């Protein structure tokens, strides 16, 4: 963060690279924890059928990547592009959740008389 602040003051064109590299370093450092969480969810998925958990994992990944892209765009002063990326991410999440919602609704209608 300090490097980014200094670069924004003296060389604005390099500041975005510092943000991207910083984000990649943070992601790399949290990779071990992320892998253990994914392994746990895969184990849970295998024991419970896994259709919904797979969709939830994909939706979570898309949400995280979208939020990261939005943050990078806002840091570089491109709030208009950030808003479009945010909207696109939401549309993708909704489209991926439709099969799960329809399956849940079908199960509910079978339970009701």
pLDDT in tens, 29-85: 888 888 888 788 778 777 766 667 778 888 888 999 999 899 888 888 889 999 999
Asked whether the predicted pLDDT for residue 10 surpasses 80, the reply is: no
Give a three-class secondary structure readout of 51-87.
Answer: HHHHHHHHHHHHHHHHHHHHHHHHHCCCHHHHHHHHH
pLDDT given for residue 2 in this prediction: 75
Find out whether 66 and 89 touch, Cβ atoms under 8 Å. yes
Q: State the average pLDDT over residues 11-18.
A: 79
CA torsion 76-64-96-41 (nearest 10°) is: 170
DSSP state letter for 30: T
Separation in Å, CA 35 to CA 4, 11, 83: 29, 36, 30
Residue-number span of the structural domain to which 80 is assigned = 2-111
Asked whether the predicted pLDDT for residue 92 surpasses 80, the reply is: yes
In the chain, the number of structural domains is 1
Q: Is the pTM of this model over 0.75?
A: no
């Amino acid at each position: 963060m300090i490097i980014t602040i200094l670069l924004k003051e003296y060389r604005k064109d390099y500041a975005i690279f510092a943000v991207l590299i910083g984000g990649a370093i943070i992601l790399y450092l949290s990779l071990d924890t992320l892998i253990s969480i994914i392994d746990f969810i895969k184990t849970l998925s295998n024991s419970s059928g896994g259709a919904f958990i797979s969709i939830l994992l994909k939706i979570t990944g898309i949400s995280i990547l979208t939020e990261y892209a939005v943050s990078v765009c806002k840091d570089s002063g491109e709030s208009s592009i950030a808003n479009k990326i945010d909207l696109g991410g939401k549309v993708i999440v909704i489209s991926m959740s439709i099969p799960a919602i329809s399956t849940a609704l079908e199960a509910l209608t079978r339970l009701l008389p």
